Structure 1
């Protein structure tokens, strides 16, 4: 892992904790990961959060490597202007089996010319900037991570954990990677195609109390019919004024918000339950299964069945691996 001043601490520690946890559970230590930090600012590199990382000089990282990981951070601007760092990344990429980045680290890979002609992602807030700066790179703002040949780029900050788990899955299998995710108390192990943030985050609660009240009502009663006149009456507004103010405050019409909320709830149920498609359709307020299928496919780009197959994670019956216990301790 290459680090630099003001690197994002979680971009570094998130993936590293995944790899370190793997090392503690593997029966054969030789099959694990040996983690090395290199930096032009060695021996001590200060992260944006004030944590200090002990790193070796760049020139010590000249041997063969399985994974090169480049994180992002608030010091990215200065890192992009560091010619020696960019040249080292170019050379190191030729020796690495996989070249990966977290968040803004993809800018460093692109600046080094490594992503030209490839598909990549970065933090959703910077995808447009990346696309403008590097027109030869196909920037995809949606996925949590993108795997294109030997290059794996991940979205913002915590997405680096998902990417690290994908690398573990490639090295040690899906079942083992899922158990690592469970031990790290992750809510679920996200597939790379999972959107960077949910539709519910995309439409935050409005500032005006009546509109926010209507939004909260929709979320709490998604299984019921939610016609606009009824929502307007509930917050003591005329339907026309309600629709106008709602669109201005939320950025979409009340009808669009209802559909987005229904689809968001359906995604949650598909990911976390074994309910049938028809049961989910009813619980999310779709009067007909056909309507649910058509609406979900149009909004997500997958049928509900395909979405479940890719993203459902149910807790298995028991742990496949036992947590490490210090010698002499009583379990």
Structure 2
């Protein structure tokens, strides 16, 4: 093909970031030398403008019902309107038709619902936004829902988690198509901190919301996250917080359900896991940056938390174990610890 056509399926209630993360990244890829170049096309039912979740209106470049191939990548965006889209026989029928004309098929966030309704995810391992994973697994028992990864690829079908995971999936596609150097160039262009591997969990412990809150705990955990290489012993943290070690331990056990030492060890382990999966940094350098006294200390922490040593984790990154204290979902949504429907 003289160009790679990326057909993005939009609908009323689509999430603007689900679309823009893909199209803007591919535009940057073209500017820095993608050959053949990408051509992003937004297709909508009837070719009509769509109103995104944010209220902004987007004009379509193509009519979904009339579009013909060849298509390099068919990508269905997510958004609050995903259920209406999945219940629209026009959308579902033409997504199914266009998938047969595409080299690969993908979804962002809740766009997986449309792919599932079209029968394109049967017996496949998929992911979606963590808040909707349980709903997807319940409604489509013939698919295998994994709520943890940023994105999942099963054959020629790829699904990604919530919103900005579209960027990570797009970077993975660019790397497949044009190599790692160009993908890293795109990541620099969008000022991405790191290109995250698909196996990385959607939810970091640093973003976990608790049932309650405490100013001392919040300030202390923020300090830990930004200063992993510093002295983070209970005594040092208590001095920083202006409380006794015993009181700090009581606060952590109440609000974090771990002692300060346990929290620090887990924070350092998760940060090291991120660096192992996304950089070529040597193990001793990672151990130093994350505050481990030695590579052996880091190895022990990895075996405890992930069941494998750092070297094995680097070869095959796995998501962190499900926490006993899961993030608090938005009202009306459930969180799946590990949905495994149809397996």
Cα 1:172/1:296, change in 2 over 3 Å: same
The TM-score, its normalising length taken from structure 1, stands at 0.80
Structure 1 position 253, deviation (Å):
4.3
Pairs aligned (count): 308
- Matched residues in 1 for 2:217 and 2:226: separation? 14
Distance 1:175 1:73, change over 3 A: same
SS in 1 for 2:12: coil
Q: Alpha carbon RMSD of aligned pairs, Å?
A: 3.1
Cα distance in 2 between the residues matched to 1:155 and 1:81:
21
Of 42, 60, 64, which aligns to 1:37? 42
Match of 1:173 in 2: 179
CA drift at 1:226: 5.1
2:161 counterpart residue number: 155
Q: Structure 1 residues 27 and 145, CA, compared in 2 at 3 Å: closer, same or farther?
A: closer
Q: Is the 8 A contact 1:43 1:55 kept in 2?
A: no
Shift of the 175–255 alpha-carbon distance from structure 1 to 2, 3 Å rule, reads same
Aligned equivalent of 1:129, options 135, 143, 153: 135
1:297–1:59: structure 2 CA closer, same or farther, 3 Å change rule? Answer: same
Look at both structures and tell me which one has the larger radius of gyration over its CA atoms: 1
CA distance 1:252–1:176, shift in 2 (3 Å): same
Number of the residue aligned with 1:17: 24
Aligned to 2:194: 188
Structure 1, 271-280 or 293-302: larger mean CA deviation: 271-280
Match of 1:321 in 2: none
Contact kept, 8 Å, 2:46 with 2:65, in 1: the verdict is no
Distance 1:94 1:176 in 2: 28
Consecutive unaligned residues of structure 2, counting only runs of 5 or more, are 1-7, 318-343
| Structure 2 residue corresponding to 1:289, chosen from 266, 288, 295 | 295
In terms of mean alpha carbon deviation, does 191-200 or 296-305 score higher? 296-305
Paired residues of 2:152 and 2:158 also in contact (CA < 8 A) = yes
Name the CA distance, whole Å, in 2 between partners of 1:37 and 1:230. Answer: 54
Match of 2:175, SS?
Answer: helix
Deviation at 1:309, TM superposition (A): 6.6
- Out of 15, 21, 24, the residue aligned to residue 8 of structure 1 is 15
Task: Go from structure 1 to structure 2 and tell me whether the alpha carbon gap of 1:182 and 1:27 turns closer, same or farther (over 3 Å shift).
Answer: closer
Change (3 A) 1:210 1:17: closer
The answer as to whether partners of 1:154 and 1:160 remain within 8 angstroms in 2 is: yes
SS at match of 2:47: coil
The question of whether the paired residues in 2 share the 8 Å contact of 1:38 and 1:60 is answered with no
Instruction: Classify the secondary structure of the residue corresponding to 1:36.
Output: strand
State yes or no: 1:81 paired with 2:87: yes
Deviates more, 1:288-297 or 1:70-79: 288-297
Q: Which has the higher contact order (CA 8 A, sep 6+)?
A: 2
Measured at CA, do residues 169 and 236 of structure 1 come closer, stay the same or move farther in structure 2, by a change above 3 Å? Answer: closer
CA distance in 2 between counterparts of 1:224 and 1:169 reads 36
Whether the 8 Å contact between 1:144 and 1:191 is mirrored in structure 2 is yes
Return the alpha-carbon distance in structure 1 between the equivalents of residues 95 and 82 of structure 2.
14
Query: In the alignment, which residue of structure 1 is the partner of 2:262?
Result: 256
Query: How far did 1:155 drift?
Result: 1.1
Q: Which whole-Å CA distance do the structure 1 matches of 2:125 and 2:162 have between them?
A: 16
Equivalent pair of 1:40/1:57 in contact (CA under 8 Å): yes
Q: Which consecutive unaligned segments of at least 5 residues does structure 1 have? A: 312-331
1:174-194 deviation per Cα after TM superposition (whole angstroms, max 9, x unaligned):
212211221222222222222
- Shift in alpha-carbon separation, 1:297–1:70, aligned structure 2, 3 A: farther
Contact 2:108–2:162, Cα closer than 8 Å, also in 1: yes
Comparing 172-181 with 296-305, greater Cα deviation is found at 296-305
